Amino acid sequence: MPARGYNGRTAYIFIAPMLIVVCAFVLLPVGGTVWLSFLREVTYLPAKFVGLGNFSRLIRDENFWQSLKFTAAFTGVCVPLEVVLGLCFALILNERIPMRNLIRATILVPWAVPTIVSARTWELIYNYSYGLANYVTQAVGLSDQPINWLGSPASAFVALVVADVWKTTPFVAIILLAGLQTIPEGIYEHAKVDGAGLTQRFLKITLPLLKPALAVVLIFRSIDTVRILDLIYVLTNGGPGGSTTSLSLLGYKYFNEGDFGYGSAIAVVVFLLAFVLSISYLRATGFGKVFK
Amino acid sequence: MSEARVRKILLAVGTAFMIVFCLTPFMWMIAVSVSKYPDFLGSQSFVVTFRNYLDIITIGSLHFLDHLRNSLIVSATVALACALIAASAAYAVSRLRFRGRMPISLGVLALSTFPQISLVGYLYKLMRSLGLINTYPALILPYIAWTVPLGFWILLSYISRIPHDLDDAAIADGASRGLVFRKIVLPIAAPGLFSAILLIFIAAFNEFLFALMLTTDHSARTIPVGIALFQGLHGEIPWGYIMAASTLASLPLVTLAMVFQRYVIQDITRGALKG
């Protein structure tokens, strides 16, 4: 059988286009960024090798620590919220509800709207004088005065969290729904016969069996949130007073000023954070099954 | 209260919340886009108008149509090229034995977790030295590389499921691997290709950071950057225009996602759970 033998040359011809684009436009740039992080590379000055100079500057840079703290806090708040809400959505979508297909299509709306579009929409929602957020909070009596949502560090943080949760919860729900669908109906019927209540069935059957899907979603969302940029760029541009500057946004700001060495050092930190998370991702997916 | 009753109430409340939660911002966007006064919740009343749409299409200096054209050309090229490249690689990995089969596949998967910020600084320098800043290739090439993991994993799970008998038979009859790939595998994998193209198109259409750094004006700038940097003609933020542009930019994607929801949901899942 020709198909079962070793045919390296043919295989490499088929794979070559993918390897070439990936090497040229992902691996080379990442390597380049690491190299730049060892340089003093500023517009109008000759590049100079400074070793770990940029990194020692990072350690002493208050803005960097502030960004790292914000990024960690943002990830720590957004991801659990998204997973809990996404799980609720998935549980609902897994039930036999009327117009299920239409409702499934509805939850794809936030997923399909471009991030920048959703960011600008939320920016208008948070508008001080005629935004929807202040209209709603005043109408339901949560606050008797309009809130300057993007004006103070605490409310800007909340505003960003809500916008991020809106955009990404559908993704979480879809993955968890797929996980729920692998749980056989029969298990629930047995438990019911044995007298297990709704809560008990959820805690003893659903949650444990959903663990793999939950792990994947948790790590996937963490990787994505640790490198967040676009939403923040539009909504607060890192403000007020730099309090919502994510690491990626901080790095971008240095690139934008022409400081490629220091910006790259920040980018390397983001890369390492995502890398650590993705290793746990590879473990969680129980990989290699595909290759058996 | 009986369990069935509690369950019913929870479901009804939950479903209502879910729908309101998901649709309100989208509806708000559309409402402002067709409103004469964006501040209709405050002082003004709600008057329907299509002026915003007419203006962004007819006022050339807003460059809305330029951005839209750039986005469509870039995203379509990326989606087609990337799906083909990914299909060819997925075919090799699913059918052929060769050294590096597993490390290459895992490596490509790992790429999808690389933060964009860790590429964009060097990409900017690279594109500048190639004289490509503010051109389509400056976006198309990195986009293909950046979306290829997504396409590869969707197509690998699809092509692995196609029975090998057909290509084995063709090869026994003397057909080359290339011929088998083009004439047998690609046509059978058409649904998988289609859904990969759909997802890659959406990803490329949404991309922001690369486009922000690698383009400088309307000759290559894409819709997300255009919308993020939208400036009015007279200083004040033109919310009506921005929401009209936003609606036009998202309607095609939202429609595609809703019409092909089965494919989309399947692919999001495959993309994350890997088969």
Mutate to test the interface with A, among B118, B205, B270 (most CBs of A within 10 A): B118
pLDDT of residue A16 exceeding 70, the answer is yes
Of B145, B250, B274, the CB nearest to A114: B250
- One-letter-per-residue 3-state SS of A206-224: HHHHHHHHHHHHHHHHHHH
Q: What is the mean pLDDT of chain B?
A: 90
> Are A26 and B152 in contact (CB < 8 Å)?
no
Q: Over chain A, what is the mean pLDDT?
A: 89
Q: How far apart are CA B155 and CA B158, in angstroms?
A: 5
pLDDT, tens digit, 9 for 90 and up, residues A112-169 = 999 999 999 999 999 988 889 998 888 888 888 889 999 999 999 999 999 999 999 9
Whole-number pLDDT of residue A287: 53
Residue A130: phi and psi, rounded to 5, are -135, 25
Name the H helices within A152-285.
153-181, 185-193, 198-201, 207-226, 230-235, 247-257, 260-284
Size (chain A), residues: 292
Nearest by CB to residue A30, choosing from B96, B119, B264, is B119
Is the pLDDT score of B79 beyond 70? yes
Q: How far is the alpha carbon of A174 from chain B, nearest alpha carbon, in Å?
A: 7
Q: What is the pLDDT, as a whole number, of residue B275? A: 42
In which band, very low, low, confident or very high, does the pLDDT at A90 lie, cut at 50, 70 and 90?
A: very high
**Confidence band, pLDDT 50/70/90 cuts, at residue A3:** very low
Domain contains A14: no
Q: With contact defined as beta carbons under 8 Å apart, do B202 and B79 qualify?
A: no
In-domain check, residue A112:
yes
Question: Would you say residue A117 lies in a domain?
Answer: yes
Chain B residue at shortest CA distance from A176: B269
The pLDDT assigned to B168 comes to 86
CA B178 to chain CA mean position, Å? 29
CA distance A230 to A123: 13
C-alpha neighbours within 13 Å on the C-beta side of residue B53: 13
**Partner-chain residue, chosen from A14, A132, A178, that has the shortest CB–CB distance to B91:** A14
Please check whether residue B145 touches A, CB under 8 A. Answer: yes
Tell me whether residue A116 is in a domain.
yes
Count other C-beta atoms under 10 Å from residue B161's C-beta. Answer: 12
> Is any Cβ of chain A less than 8 angstroms from the Cβ of B30?
no
Instruction: Count interface pairs A-B at CB distance under 8 A.
Output: 326
**Which of A35, A121, A266 lies at the smallest CB-CB distance from B28?**
A121
Rounded to a whole number of angstroms, the distance between the first and last alpha carbons of chain B is 42
Question: For chain A, how long is the longest CA-to-CA vector?
Answer: 78
- pLDDT tens-digit map of B165-210: 888 888 888 888 889 899 889 999 998 999 899 999 999 999 999 9
Judged by a CB distance cut-off of 8 A, whether residue B228 touches chain A is yes
**Closest CA–CA distance from residue B19 to any residue of chain A (Å):** 7
- What token pair was written down for B33? 């886009």
Percent of chain B with pLDDT over 90: 59
Ranking A159-168, B95-104, B114-123 by mean pLDDT, the lowest is B95-104
Can you give the CATH number for the domain in which A273 is found? Answer: 1.10.3720.10
- B interface test, pick of A82, A120, A177 with most B CB neighbours within 10 Å: A120
Find the domain containing A215 and state its range.
62-291
Chain B residues lying within 8 Å of A115, measured CB to CB: 206, 208, 224
* Euclidean distance between the first and the last CA atom of chain A, given in angstroms as a whole number: 19
A5 belongs to a structural domain: no
Tell me if A171 is assigned to some domain. Answer: yes
Domain contains A201? yes
- Domains in chain B, CATH or no CATH each: 62-273 (1.10.3720.10)
What confidence score (pLDDT) does residue B274 get?
55
CB contact under 8 A, A255 and B121: yes
A105-110: average pLDDT? 92
Is A277 within the bounds of a domain?
A: yes
Work out the pLDDT band at A239, boundaries 50, 70, 90.
confident
What DSSP line would sit under B214-248, residue for residue?
A: H--STTT--HHHHHHT---SSSS--HHHHHHHHHH
Domains: count for chain A: 1
Percentage of chain A exceeding pLDDT 70: 94
| Each residue's pLDDT tens digit, A27-80 | 999 999 999 999 998 877 888 898 899 999 999 999 999 999 999 999 999 999
pTM over 0.90: yes
Are A43 and A258 in contact by the 8 Å Cβ rule? The answer is yes
The rounded distance, in Å, linking the Cα atoms of B38 and B239 is 6
User: Which ipTM was obtained for this model?
Assistant: 0.91
